[in-house]
Amino acid sequence: MGKKSQKQKIVLPPELPPEIAEDEIEVSDEDLQFVKQNSDYAVGFSRLDTQSITKHVTRVADVKEDALEALYEKRLKKKTLQKEKEESGVRVDPVDALPVKTLDGKLYYRTLEKKSRLSGIGVEETGEDDKDDGGATGVVKLTKAERRAKLKKQKKETKKLGKELDKAEELQQTPQAAVLAEVKEDLTAEEAFESKKQKLAELGMALLEDPESNIKSLKEMLQISKDNDHAIVKLGVLSLLAVFKDIIPGYRIRLPTEKELEMKVSKAVKKTRFYESTLLSTYKAYLQKLIVLENKPSFQHVAIRCMCSLLDAVPHFNFRGSLLVAVVRNIGSSDDVVRKLCCATIKSLFTNEGKHGGEATVEAVRLIAGLVKAQNCQLHPDSIEVFLFLSFDDDLRRPEKTNEVNRVKSKKNRKRKNLEEPSQLPDRKKSRQELMTKMREEVTADYKAVTFTPDAMEKRRMQSETLSAVFETYFRILKHSVQPYAASHEEIASPVSGASAAHPLLAPCLKGLGKFSHLIDLDFMGDLMNFLRKLASGGSNLGNSSQKDFNSFTVSERLQCCIVAFKVMRSNLDALNVDLQDFFVQLYNLILEYKPGRDQGGVLAEALKMMLCDDRQHDMQKAAAFVKRLATFSLCFGSAESMSALVTLRHLLQKNIKCRNLLENDAGGGSVSGTIAKYQPYASDPNLSGALASVLWELNLLFKHYHSAVSAMASSISSISTANNQVYLSTLTPQQAFLDLSLEGESFNPSDSLKLKSKRKRGSGSSGSATSEPTPDTGSIDEDEVRKKLSAHFMLLRDIKENERLRGELDRTTLYLRLYEKYKTQKKKGRTKSK
């Protein structure tokens, strides 16, 4: 049978018959005979699991109904037992899981399935049940192969249950494990930080001890500074800064060319070349790292500090241009720390030109000029105030004729010598003389290259380029200030409040023009004076009807324009013939527009000194007008401003004898011969004010001033006699007077000055002076009533100022709205025209 079956397995099976419905199939006698003859082919049907088939059928062959019901009852009992075993299960250890307490107070512990422990027993039970079932039902028993397969399945299930239990235990232990993992991570991070910090320190110390042999450590330090930890990055960057400042040589490194690399050199030269190339490449990568960190807010301060320190310490070294670009780019930053660092670095470059020979100064000034042009003069004032630290030679504007003549003479002398020497000297001496001259030229060239003493012509060229860039920037700022402010839609959409915000660079520009006025070329003097005249007028003559209100300048800026005009005129007195009457008119009007809290008193004092004290003798009408205006000004403002005005007034009276008639009590101004014009206090021109027809009655009020110095100055002015023609000019200037009283005002006590004044009056009364007045009785004054009156007065003044401020804001907003409407209409007209 075995051999036949093997041969039959090899034979291909017959083709399948066509599909026919079950209802149409009819079993004939021939079919039954064929099945009986080929019974060997029906072996597979004998292996069918009849027991599992009978589970899903309601009727089983050769089994009675009572036995079938008993079989069903036995199966139900078995299922209920399995459910109870699964529900009971194995109790979990209370350490692993806490019990559950119900409202009745009973505790219920969690359970696990019992399959893993009862897997073998279950197999035996199922085997016995199968036997019983088989005996009862007559079903075929399981073969050995099927039992082995079942045992394998049960073992796999037990392994799966064991893994699930392990996972459950791991889940219960996750909180503690997570905490332990976090602690380990923190410890490892701290250890890594300390190790990297220690590594940076070791590498830095090794580089400082012997840079040439440890130059490879620079790359390691740069690699450490690229860490993800911000603290490590900052430490690495600062450590590299300290190392570079120490090991960078005092010369500019030039890498060898390809031909030079092909040449055979000694070991020392190879070592030096390797050291310089590694240093230069690492320095370049370090600067690129700093430029990248500059754009990150958390590293901006550190990166800017490193770049400023490098530029200040080694301005002669390679890649100076990239450092200058980065520093100048942040010179007008809104961050105060960054701006102050950059400005301090640029000032150090301007003052210490010996480190770089003046080349960095020229580059920095050009970059600042380009930045002002790119930003349309909208920068912080500190970015232009650095120009005040520039220093130029006084003979920079002198013609170079003498130098050219000397050069021509020296060249002619050399040619004569060269022409004379060959004819006189023999051939040997000729060659020897030529060698000597060549040697001397080489030695002088090497000496100039090694020493830092710059050539005079080179220095002159660099200073001229620097000066041209500075004045180009200044004239651009003046032109921008004179132009109408509402020139573009962007400026209308975002208006700037105040003239200082609209023209932030005007004040430092005027200071710079005043300092370098003696170096301005005469060809630009006419344009400069026109610009200054327009700016001093406050923008009222710029052609626009609303420009005076919209583009007005502060009093300090307008006074600074007058000061610059006088400085330019005095420094170029031989070449200029300019009428400065317009500036006197502006000063005459600006004296009453001055406000102590808004404007600078020092600028006003400087203008008084420059235009009235230092100027030559004035016209009588103009001098009298300024005397009267200064006396009125002294009544309205504080002690420092009043003192500077009184010092100027006394100076004018001492220089102009005819103006002393204002001290007389006659209504006609004393004994002035001729017709006198009527006094007009609101006149805008000092020559048309008719001040000679007035009297200085203000001095009588100033004599009772609360400050003793002001009252003493008023009394000294009133004591000037018209008969005394002796000119005595005091050395006290308006600037000194303003500075002294402004510093004294911090610790000034008005009660002390009142006591001194009362003592002085009593002393003068005892001497029999007719002009002495009785001192007021200060004890009879009701302080509460005075306090109430003063509080009411100041409240009223505050309300008036608040009302003025609100009205100004309202006018400004309405003006902006009108301008915006005009812009809309112009834009619509442009669209219609384009269509």
Residue 488 above 70 pLDDT? no
Query: CA 539 to CA 519: how far, in whole Å?
Result: 27
| Cα(215)–Cα(274) distance, integer angstroms | 9
170's enclosing H/E stretch is: helix 144-172
Q: Are strands 111-112 and 90-91 parallel, antiparallel or unpaired?
A: antiparallel
Contact 539, 551 (CB under 8 A): yes
Contact between 331 and 368 (Cβ < 8 Å): yes
pLDDT per residue as tens digits for the range 614-642: 876 678 888 889 999 999 999 888 888 99
Other Cβ atoms closer than 10 A to 294: 19
**Letter for the amino acid at 327?**
V
Average pLDDT over residues 115-133: 42
Whether the Cβ atoms of residue 365 and residue 466 lie closer than 8 Å to each other: yes
Q: How far apart are CA 691 and CA 658, in angstroms?
A: 12
How many Å is the Cα radius of gyration of the chain?
53
Model confidence at 547, pLDDT cuts 50, 70, 90, reads: very low
Q: CA angle 612-614-615, nearest 5°? A: 65
Say what the pLDDT of residue 313 is. 92
Helix residue spans in 659-733 (DSSP H): 698-702, 708-718
Could you tell me the pLDDT band of residue 460, with boundaries at 50, 70 and 90? confident
Say yes or no to pLDDT of 116 above 70: no
Instruction: Catalogue the long-range contacts made by 510-513 (C-beta closer than 8 Å, 24 or more residues apart).
Output: 510/557, 510/560, 510/561, 510/563, 510/564, 511/385, 511/388, 511/560, 512/384, 512/387, 512/388, 512/470, 512/474, 513/474, 513/564, 513/567, 513/568
**151 vs 611 pLDDT, higher one:** 611
Q: What pLDDT shows up at residue 300? A: 92
Asked if the model's pLDDT at residue 2 lies above 50, the reply is no
Query: How many C-beta atoms lie closer than 10 Å to residue 160's C-beta?
Result: 12
pLDDT at site 337: 92
Buried b (16+ CB within 10 A) or exposed e, 169-200: eeeeeeeeeeeeeeeeeeeeeeeeeeebbebb
Which tokens in the block code for residue 201? 């320190």
The burial of 741, by beta-carbon neighbours within 10 Å (0-12 exposed, 13-18 middle, 19 or more buried), is given as buried
Reply yes or no on whether the pLDDT at 281 is more than 80: yes
Q: pLDDT band at residue 341, thresholds of 50, 70 and 90?
A: very high
Nearest to 53 by CA among 122, 180, 117, 140: 140
Q: Per 3-state DSSP, what percentage of the chain is helix, strand, and coil (rounded to 5)?
A: 70, 0, 30
User: Tell me: the pLDDT tens digits for 637-686?
Assistant: 888 899 999 999 999 888 888 888 888 765 544 445 455 677 887 788 88
Where are the domains positioned within the chain? Answer: 185-396, 401-451, 625-762, 805-835
d(CA 442, CA 439): 5
Integer Cα distance of 464 and 461 in angstroms:
5
Helix (H, G, I), strand (E, B) or coil at 112: strand
pLDDT value at position 175? 61
**624 C-beta neighbours (distance < 10 Å), count:** 31
- Contact at 8 Å (CB) between 593 and 555? yes
Task: With a cut of 90, say whether residue 311 has pLDDT above it.
Answer: yes
Pairing state between β 90-91 and 100-101: unpaired
d(CA 741, CA 748): 9
The mean per-residue pLDDT over the stretch 136-155 comes to 66
Question: How high is the pLDDT of residue 35?
Answer: 78
Choice between 120 and 582, residue whose per-residue pLDDT is larger: 582
**CA dihedral angle for residue 786, residue 789, residue 794, residue 799, rounded to 10 degrees:** 170
Q: State how far the Cα of 552 lies from the Cα of 537, in Å rounded to an integer.
A: 9
Contact 226, 264 (CB under 8 A): no
**According to the model, what pLDDT value does residue 315 have?**
92
Tens digit of each residue's pLDDT (9 = 90 or more) over 686-698 = 888 888 888 888 8
Neighbours of 104 (CB within 10 A): 5
Q: What is the mean pLDDT of residues 708-714?
A: 88
pTM metric for this prediction: 0.62
The pLDDT value given to residue 303? 93
Q: Report yes or no: 272 and 211 within 8 Å, Cβ to Cβ.
A: no
User: Which residues, in sequence order, are bridge partners of residue 126?
Assistant: none
How confident is the model over 54-78, as pLDDT tens digits?
655 555 556 667 777 777 778 777 7
Q: Is the pLDDT of residue 771 over 50?
A: no
Distance CA 155, CA 82 (A): 19
Could you tell me which residues come within 8 angstroms of residue 514 by beta carbon, excluding any fewer than 6 positions away?
A: 560, 563, 564, 567
Q: Which residue has the higher pLDDT, 532 or 777?
A: 532
Closest CA to 325 of 290, 363, 372, 285: 363
Q: Residue 483's closest CA among 508, 506, 467?
A: 506
Confidence of residue 102 (pLDDT cuts 50, 70, 90): confident
Rounded to the nearest integer, the mean pLDDT of the chain is 75
Q: How confident is the model at residue 152 (pLDDT cuts 50, 70, 90)?
A: confident
DSSP string for residues in 47-86: TS-HHHHHHT-S--TT--HHHHHHHHHHHHHHHHHHHHHH
Identify the band that residue 427 occupies on the pLDDT scale cut at 50, 70 and 90: low
pLDDT tens sequence across 209-267: 888 888 888 999 999 888 888 889 999 999 999 999 999 998 888 888 888 888 888 88
Residues 6+ apart with CB under 8 A from 171: none
Q: What is the pLDDT of residue 107?
A: 76
For 355-403, write each residue's pLDDT tens digit: 888 889 999 999 999 999 999 888 999 999 999 999 887 665 554 444 4
- Residue 89 region by backbone torsions, left for phi larger than 0, else alpha for psi between -120 and 50, else beta: left
Region of poorest pLDDT, from 527-531, 573-577, 830-834: 573-577
Longest dimension (CA), the chain: 174
